[in-house]
Structure 1
């Protein structure tokens, strides 16, 4: 019989204890190791299985604005470094934004004018040269600074690289209680100089009042992996006119509200499900397509197949394909709130960090050093 006192044993100790081994948590571990800190990471699953592995693998740096653009710019440098040092797959292939209407191209013209060569306008023919698209393309833009990684490989490669640099991982270990200087887990207590809670959409499981004040909800996505209908290598990520409604850099363009109004009037079902019509190609040649967005504090557990039908139909139209063969389907979940970044200090030496805008892969590696600067101060 296990003594009650065994639960008081010390499991570990470190300068920084991070709860959560998704990309946000690992980004803080990278920044801490670079500063010579000792680091422990606590993860409830035996490996990362959340939003960090269920996304497009798209470093969508250029389309951000404000703080997100600052974080993204720094994150790009970090991703390039990690690709070399951690051995993760990365392509500096950029993004092609496809415009299939004049008002979509007008937004891209305004966007390109503000980005000093970071967005190159393309006519319809040059779009078709770069990516497979169906008829009706009037033009587009190439964002050369964007990158692609394989999300199913990247976070695991970073975790392995961190372990090789002395970071200690406690997998399949739940954090039950966080206090200044202490994290109590399902396996014992960990002494902490500082703590970063990087638990994504589960902030409310640990700090419900904080989550309520932030208006935190869960955003549920529908995504699919399909066979490439053209058998063609697609280097860039591909965005569409629907994407112009979702990224901060495009939303700041003066003509974007008129585009939104037109799409909402002509495609109320697609805008109503929050369609961000885009795709990326995986290293094996298949395409990741999506995605839809639904919001709730507690989402319904039932998936509506109508969402997948919309994604498949619109993706086929964008690709100029008769039909798409589905290999996999999945639900992604990430934290959502009005402020795209939740950074809070619920107690001394503890920071709660959640990217509440679906751009964790794009920004986390730039955000984390600023959080550690704040903790150090």
Structure 2
């Protein structure tokens, strides 16, 4: 393999594909190098939730731009997408208070719901809640391969099952030979330390492991929106600066300290076939322990069953998601001329990548 591309993308997950999409729209030749036969990482192990509204700062801007890109790409590439929003179910007065504060800041991005309206949309009981109409849902197991096929049909060269050994200005060395590059974008998520260990150490990049499960739908009906809870308020930047959040955090720590310690984000989405993707917990390390603690799955199953008001849930699949984590939501650095390293270090790659990529390429190609 001796060839050349205007842009070489290392990694065929959603962040890498987002850069490839933007480069194609600019008329550039693109090559994507991926060590596996297809995307197997965080890009296909997530909720498929475009969690736009709960972001803050730069992430919110990227998410809003990415939302438009997802809707357009779903039409062009022919994958399933629903503009069904998100319902955050409030089960305590302090959570309703936070949603009131959130609505004051975000206006019509946050629509208050009564307890009856929450039940009608989700089947879940509670004191009330809010609907975030800007949020979207896709099936990541379908959407990511569909994006790769769409790109291949537009001239992007994919080098599957190809390991990148070296990266330098103008040249990517792979297990199948050299690849000349006008510019290089490295989108390998938590594996950034495999290629740039000093950079990963400098910015404190770690791996975050998530426990997630697919369960049979206990209701036997469509639940169109994604569903978040009070635990979710502790996980997303959009809630972080709200005065009422500390009361929610203090109560949850008092009532459910093990769940808060496990980083529980109690939420779910429904797959097109009806099953629910539920989760998730968060555990951080540079090198993760390979053994999954059953206790974490029990936390997720018990709390989801309680949320849904059912006695038990039938598990169909279990898996561990892994994403890059650091002290910032994005790590966008240039270790050498013509090379950008772009891991999303906050678990929001699917939500933000299509907004982030154009900004990265604007700077890199200039």
TM-score by length of 2: 0.99
Residue 239 of structure 1 and its aligned partner are, at CA, apart by 0.2
1:72 lines up with 2:63 in the alignment: yes
Q: Indicate the residue corresponding to 2:84 in structure 1.
A: 93
What is the 5 A alignment of 1:205-220? 205-220=194-209
Q: Indicate the residue corresponding to 1:38 in structure 2.
A: 29
Residue 113 of structure 1 and its aligned partner are, at CA, apart by 1.1
Q: Indicate the residue corresponding to 1:307 in structure 2.
A: 296
Q: Indicate the residue corresponding to 2:108 in structure 1.
A: 117
Cα contact 1:99–1:240 (8 A) shared by 2: yes
Q: Deviations over 1:189-217 (max 9, x none)?
A: 00000000000000000000100111100
User: Cα RMSD over matched residues?
Assistant: 0.7
1:183 lines up with 2:168 in the alignment: no
What is the 5 A alignment of 1:1-377? 10-134=1-125, 137-377=126-366
Unaligned residue ranges in structure 2 (runs of 5+)? none
TM-score by length of 1: 0.96
Q: Deviations over 1:105-132 (max 9, x none)?
A: 1111100111120110111111001102
- What secondary structure does 1:327 align onto? strand
Alpha-carbon distance in structure 1 between the residues aligned to 2:310 and 2:137: 23
Residue 219 of structure 1 and its aligned partner are, at CA, apart by 0.2
Cα contact 1:75–1:362 (8 A) shared by 2: yes
Residue 266 of structure 1 and its aligned partner are, at CA, apart by 1.5
Q: How many residues in Structure 1 have an aligned counterpart in Structure 2?
A: 366
Residue 259 of structure 1 and its aligned partner are, at CA, apart by 1.2
Q: Deviations over 1:58-93 (max 9, x none)?
A: 000011010000100100000000000000110000
Alpha-carbon distance in structure 2 between the residues aligned to 1:12 and 1:116: 51
Residue 103 of structure 1 and its aligned partner are, at CA, apart by 0.5
After TM superposition, the runs of 4+ consecutive aligned structure 1 residues lying more than 6 A away are: none
Alpha-carbon distance in structure 2 between the residues aligned to 1:265 and 1:272: 11
Alpha-carbon distance in structure 2 between the residues aligned to 1:336 and 1:234: 31
Residue 261 of structure 1 and its aligned partner are, at CA, apart by 1.6
Deviates more, 1:121-130 or 1:21-30: 121-130
Residue 11 of structure 1 and its aligned partner are, at CA, apart by 2.4
Alpha-carbon distance in structure 1 between the residues aligned to 2:136 and 2:249: 27
